[in-house]
Structure 1
Amino acid sequence: MNATKEQTQKFKKLGIASYCELALFVPFAYEDLRLHDKLQTHTMQLIDATVESVYRGANSLQVTFFAHNFGHTITGVLFHPKPYMMHQFKVGERDYYYGMVECKSGQCTMSMPKKVTNIGAITPKYKSPLRSDVMLRFVQSSLTKENLLSEGLRDEIVDEVLKLHFPSQAISSLKELDEKTLNALKYVELFIYMKRLSSKRRYFKSLSSACTDYKDWSETLPFTLTDEQIKTIEDIKMDLQKDVSARRMIVGDVGSGKTMVILASCVMMLPQRSILMAPTTILANQLYEEASKFLPHVKSVLVTNKTKNIDLDEYDFIIGTHALLYRELPKASLVMVDEQHRFGTQQRNRLEKLVSNGVEQGGQAKPHFLQFSATPIPRTQAMIETAHIDVSLITSTPFKKDITSKVIHKSDFKDLLLHIEDEIAKKNQVLLVYPLVEQSEFLEYQSIDEARGFWEKRFNNVYVTHGKDKEKEEVLQEFSKNGDLLIATTVVEVGISLPRLSSVIIVGAERLGLSTLHQLRGRVSRTGLKGYCFLYTNQSSSERLDRFVQTTSGFDIANLDLKFRKSGDLLKGHNQSGSQFKWIDLAEDEEIVKSVKYDLLN
């Protein structure tokens, strides 16, 4: 961007850094200073008028105009006039005046008329930190077709956006923008965002660009990999063969078989070493067990807080918790992380160092880096993320889960108790998720502390845990072996494998995002059991929950979540509510996302 020093200062005041961003400072209103010969009521209008009389009241000023363009009289009214306003109206003078015109029973008034000079123009009005006249001049001098094209926007997008700042017709409301103009604003907003994302991407030489084939290994498996698993493994194979360090995010629905993709990546990396980090001991343990089972020829090791100082140089596959971040690690050509969003900022910074631990002098080489997530994201978000990281989606599961989902209320409680008794009699396990650990006067649902007594009296082998429980991993492992009923918060949302878990009951379900509900539902029926998911709510009806129980795909759920909550900040991960975007709607605007992505890549 070839901005002058003065332009750069104004950009800074406006909190922007480009002409494209300036184009998104859309006027909130327009002054139409063209002279019309037809009077329109309830409209800001210009009159060519002679002042016939001026009357001063206690708190007002009344001016009688003869409007030459309409050929009749209009009464101007100013409330609480400032002294300088008095001098604008001199009897016998002819000038141009602008104000809101209203007509009732043949009488026409103009409220707050003001004398104007910029006749014949439609002037945009801006809300900005700059004074209105300064902002107008700045836009008129800086927002040129040439400047916008120089930043990479398409010709027709530039023309559409400029219409808003240099209008030939007054636009009465931004709600009335035609679809073409609205789509152009969406395009520009996303173009800026994705361009910024791609500028964050850094390319480094990879420590290894050799790759072993995975097919012989996959034929030894007691099942067949799904098409999407194979496609993702092929994506990774291409990455590992490049001399540029890979950065790829693999997003798979609950139970889509990401573990096999992790193991295949380790196989392809041989004889080079791979490191895998998981957010909990349970998860790391599960992954280690799978590696021991399906990669018998690979020397694997599990590293947790309890691991003694063993020599990790002897191992090809190091699997561990965040304990890995706090010890000396041998050089690895592939670093993988499961559920990266569950690590704290400090841990992520250490992870970045871990990923850089093989960097040669001059900072030229890094390991390949793969991150895995079981939290499905909308397809539009996946496309946007590709501006700074490669993305693979695994949307199908190796086997179809049979889970019945249902919204329930207080009146269903007796039936719910019978269902729980039934499932426990079948040696199945039940999970009860409560919104809070302790009582709250603001919440109409019981907390774990209030509810546990009822369940502990009624059932045997009841286990309780929550996010602040230091023993939660031990409790979950104990429950897995011996429990009937587990009472918890959403701490069990991700990753843990409970083969006998058949039912989950989520209390106050309307308080949780649909993606969280889907994660919790994904805990049941892991091994082909008939599963049940009950959403308990005090709300008499909820379209959101009704739509959820009819939807099984995590990626469709992620889209529904967007529709009901609007997207959050994708870059920073604040996906709670309130949109990062003013114009674009990620739930609806997939075609625009595709178009921006195509233009940025070509």
Structure 2
Amino acid sequence: MRGIGPQSAEKLAARGLARLRDLWLWLPREYEDRTRLTPVAALQPGVAAQVEGRILATETAFRFRPMLKVAMADESRGTLTLRFFHFRGQQANAFRAGARLRAYGTPRPGQLGLEMVHPSYRVLGDEDAALDEALAPVYPAIEGIGPQTLRKLVERALGALPGDDALELLPCEWLAEQGLPTLRDAVLTLHQPPTDVDMGLLQAGRHPAQRRLALEEMLAHHLSLRRQRISLQAHAATPLPAKGKAVAQLLAALPFQLTEAQSRVFDEVQRDLARPMPMLRLVQGDVGAGKTVVAALAALRAIDAGRQAALMAPTELLAEQHANTLRGWLEPLGIRIAWLAGRVTGKAREAVLGEVASGAAQMVIGTHALMQQGVDFKDLALAIIDEQHRFGVQQRLALRDKGGVDGNVPHQLVMTATPIPRTLAMAAYADLDVSVIDQLPPGRTPVQTVAISAERRPQLIDRIRAAIAEGRQAYWVCTLIEEQEDGATRIEAQAAQTTFETLRDAMPDIRIGLVHGRMKPKEKQAAMAAFKAGELDLLVATTVIEVGVDVPNASLMIIENAERLGLAQLHQLRGRVGRGSAESSCVLLYQAPLGAIARERLDTLRQTNDGFVIAEKDLQLRGPGELLGTRQTGLAEFRIADLSRDADLLPRVQSMADALLADSPELADRIIERWVGGAARYASA
């Protein structure tokens, strides 16, 4: 393409722009109205506008930093100052007194009335310069490519936009039913909106042109996930019939009865396992809903059939907790459990690997160490993945590829304690069947949640003492104090260490433990075991205890810097208390002043304990990428669609996908290729 050399191509490629169609879909982030002039006297602070007038005077100063000020006025007798901090001498010389000037920017109050800082401008000759006929697009910035250059490149690309017959992939009647334009019309409208466009709809992302593109993009992602599911189900899996005794034995031995929700979800899992195609089921349940027992019962179906089951968790802490729980349930039934994590080394590791390869280990529990080379299963029939969004896609594929014999793949049961809003589950997990354990075990008391300013920290000492005096235990969670990527765990660990020392000095008679990410695994495990055994009263920890730690006697949770965490993470941390029958509390300690979004988060937590309500709110506040851990799910980021805004399109997307896969598979491929391209292969994990 004219105007793009090797360096520009590299810069564009870094933002995913490699083909003409990528530029067609590189949509403006906002629009500037240069179709009209606003009298200077009518300017409003904070409202972008275009003005035209004569230059009255210019002034350059180099006191603290270079500055160029240009005063202008028009026939409305209003005056405006243009202020530049970055300028060249040649530029300053162009602003001659009396010259006509047209400028576009956002006015703000200055020392001598309104001013615009670094507006875009043109010094005009005496001839009339025509105003724009359409709104001017402002594109997301690309490093190393100026805004004017980028605008020209997009204009050039639009010049090569083909006609509807070559470009349109959706049937005309579908678009007519929805009242949506063709793809060509939608693209042109969004790059060059007419002056009478409804700016309210455009800014809200709900203009028919935006809806048209969002619909096709969501359809492409949905089709890609469904395709992956179809290709995976083309593999065979060994059916696991319900004929062994172990399931009944475990149900009889458990000190509790399954809730209705647990029984319903286990029935759904059993039906899947009995089929000769691989199960692909996501089990979601709120914190403490009892997913582990459903996983244990599913594992027994594989073990009863003489096969192996594996459970993979994202952290050693959580994996070890699963191992302890499952040992307590399964070893009395004569089942051999193997434990494999990064710290199992040397001869101990060789012994475990031998048991896994020979089939002597019927249930294998571990971290991502399960997927490493040299870990060979004799006959893996069921892979259980806990907190699946914590794993990279290749890791999950690696575990799947270790399974089965004779080309079979294992059944997959994926669990998450991060509730996923229904709309997001429909879009992000179209390749999985979704089950929800939507009931907590009886006897759980809702956690009372309060938010208090960090200035009231000393009062918490009394609160901790009161809980401990009643024979209870407490957590004090230190979240990241400074937001920086590298060294984050170090800063978090320092914060925890400092808090630990401060609390130990304030309460010398209280038994306090410490857990953070930079401790050796053995030290972490020892502290957790001591807390669980009641040998510690208070545990100071970082967010490593977010998932899966189960101490029913803990009834007080204090979360420091709560305003820095997302709703899902706060809800997970709060779920560490309220696991017994005692009344439990969660204190959200925040640094004032609170921003609007942080306040909304803390208010939501105070008002509800329902993880699904919290997840819906989180989706609104943070968007789907962060909620799912998009960078790891393998779902490409949506470029145009927004799952919280466009959720109402999902039922239509599903019915369109059904029709395309049944009647026009080649068309489905073209839609996937246009929007998803190479990212499609990841979605089968």
TM-score range, shorter chain: 0.7 to 0.9
Q: Identify the range of structure 1 (526-535 vs 393-402) with the bigger mean alpha-carbon deviation.
A: 393-402
What SS is found at the alignment partner of 2:296?
A: helix
Give matches, 1:318-337, under 5 Å: 318-326=364-372, 327-337=375-385
Q: Does structure 2 retain, via aligned residues, the 8 Å contact 1:463–1:487?
A: yes
Deviation at 1:330, TM superposition (A): 2.1
Return closer, same or farther for 1:146/1:503 CA change in 2, 3 Å cut-off.
same
What SS is found at the alignment partner of 1:242?
A: coil
Return closer, same or farther for 1:464/1:571 CA change in 2, 3 Å cut-off.
closer
TM-score, length basis structure 2:
0.65
Aligned to 1:112: 129
Aligned to 1:483: 536
CA distance in structure 2 between the partners assigned to 1:152 and 1:485 by the alignment: 65
Give matches, 1:498-513, under 5 Å: 498-513=551-566
Letter in 2 for 1:391: V
CA distance in structure 2 between the partners assigned to 1:156 and 1:137 by the alignment: 29
Q: Does 1:555 align with 2:612?
A: yes
Q: Does structure 2 retain, via aligned residues, the 8 Å contact 1:498–1:523?
A: yes
Return closer, same or farther for 1:426/1:411 CA change in 2, 3 Å cut-off.
same
CA distance in structure 2 between the partners assigned to 1:329 and 1:456 by the alignment: 48
Give matches, 1:149-548, under 5 Å: 149=170, 154-157=175-178, 159-162=180-183, 163-165=185-187, 170-172=195-197, 174-177=199-202, 182-201=210-229, 202-203=231-232, 204-212=234-242, 216=248, 220=252, 221-269=254-302, 270-271=304-305, 272-295=307-330, 296-297=332-333, 299-304=335-340, 305-306=343-344, 307=348, 309-310=351-352, 311-312=355-356, 313-326=359-372, 327-343=375-391, 345=392, 349=394, 352-358=397-403, 364-399=407-442, 400-410=444-454, 412-436=456-480, 447-457=495-505, 458-459=507-508, 460-470=510-520, 471-481=523-533, 482-540=535-593, 542-548=599-605
Q: CA deviation digits over 1:89-136, x for unaligned, max 9? A: 7xxxxxxxxxxxxxxxxxxxxx6227x9xxxx9899796676455333
CA distance in structure 1 between the partners assigned to 2:519 and 2:173 by the alignment: 52
Deviation at 1:166, TM superposition (A): 6.5
Return closer, same or farther for 1:575/1:514 CA change in 2, 3 Å cut-off.
farther
Letter in 1 for 2:472: N
Q: Gapped runs of 5+ residues in structure 2?
A: 1-8, 36-48, 52-95, 103-120, 140-149, 660-685
CA distance in structure 1 between the partners assigned to 2:165 and 2:25 by the alignment: 10
CA distance in structure 2 between the partners assigned to 1:238 and 1:358 by the alignment: 20
CA distance in structure 1 between the partners assigned to 2:97 and 2:455 by the alignment: 68
Deviation at 1:437, TM superposition (A): 8.1
Q: Does structure 2 retain, via aligned residues, the 8 Å contact 1:465–1:489?
A: yes
CA distance in structure 2 between the partners assigned to 1:358 and 1:154 by the alignment: 44
What SS is found at the alignment partner of 1:447?
A: helix
Deviation at 1:536, TM superposition (A): 0.7
Q: Identify the range of structure 1 (272-281 vs 514-523) with the bigger mean alpha-carbon deviation.
A: 272-281
Letter in 1 for 2:238: S
Q: Identify the range of structure 1 (177-186 vs 533-542) with the bigger mean alpha-carbon deviation.
A: 177-186
Q: Does structure 2 retain, via aligned residues, the 8 Å contact 1:436–1:448?
A: no
Return closer, same or farther for 1:19/1:244 CA change in 2, 3 Å cut-off.
farther
Q: Identify the range of structure 1 (262-271 vs 23-32) with the bigger mean alpha-carbon deviation.
A: 23-32
Return closer, same or farther for 1:126/1:488 CA change in 2, 3 Å cut-off.
closer
Deviation at 1:433, TM superposition (A): 0.9
Identity within the alignment, %: 27
What SS is found at the alignment partner of 2:415?
A: strand
Q: Identify the range of structure 1 (248-257 vs 20-29) with the bigger mean alpha-carbon deviation.
A: 20-29
Deviation at 1:510, TM superposition (A): 0.3
Letter in 2 for 1:433: V
Aligned to 1:147: 168
What SS is found at the alignment partner of 1:112?
A: coil
CA distance in structure 2 between the partners assigned to 1:402 and 1:533 by the alignment: 10
Q: CA deviation digits over 1:150-193, x for unaligned, max 9? A: 69965445843555456797544543446655544432332233
CA distance in structure 2 between the partners assigned to 1:514 and 1:213 by the alignment: 43
Letter in 2 for 1:590: A
Return closer, same or farther for 1:138/1:507 CA change in 2, 3 Å cut-off.
same
What SS is found at the alignment partner of 1:319?
A: strand
Letter in 2 for 1:301: I
What SS is found at the alignment partner of 1:276?
A: strand
Aligned to 2:160: 138
Return closer, same or farther for 1:480/1:57 CA change in 2, 3 Å cut-off.
closer
Q: CA deviation digits over 1:394-426, x for unaligned, max 9? A: 232123433110001245445422221111112
Q: CA deviation digits over 1:64-90, x for unaligned, max 9? A: xxxxxxxxxxxxxx95358xxx9xx7x
Return closer, same or farther for 1:529/1:161 CA change in 2, 3 Å cut-off.
farther
CA distance in structure 1 between the partners assigned to 2:628 and 2:571 by the alignment: 22
Aligned length: 520
CA distance in structure 1 between the partners assigned to 2:492 and 2:222 by the alignment: 42
Deviation at 1:374, TM superposition (A): 1.5
Deviation at 1:216, TM superposition (A): 4.3
Return closer, same or farther for 1:233/1:588 CA change in 2, 3 Å cut-off.
farther
Q: Identify the range of structure 1 (351-360 vs 404-413) with the bigger mean alpha-carbon deviation.
A: 351-360
Greater gyration radius: 1
Q: Does structure 2 retain, via aligned residues, the 8 Å contact 1:395–1:555?
A: no
What SS is found at the alignment partner of 1:552?
A: coil
Q: Gapped runs of 5+ residues in structure 1?
A: 1-8, 34-41, 45-55, 63-77, 90-110
Letter in 1 for 2:417: A
Aligned to 1:48: none
TM-score, length basis structure 1:
0.73
Q: Does structure 2 retain, via aligned residues, the 8 Å contact 1:381–1:570?
A: no
What SS is found at the alignment partner of 2:630?
A: coil
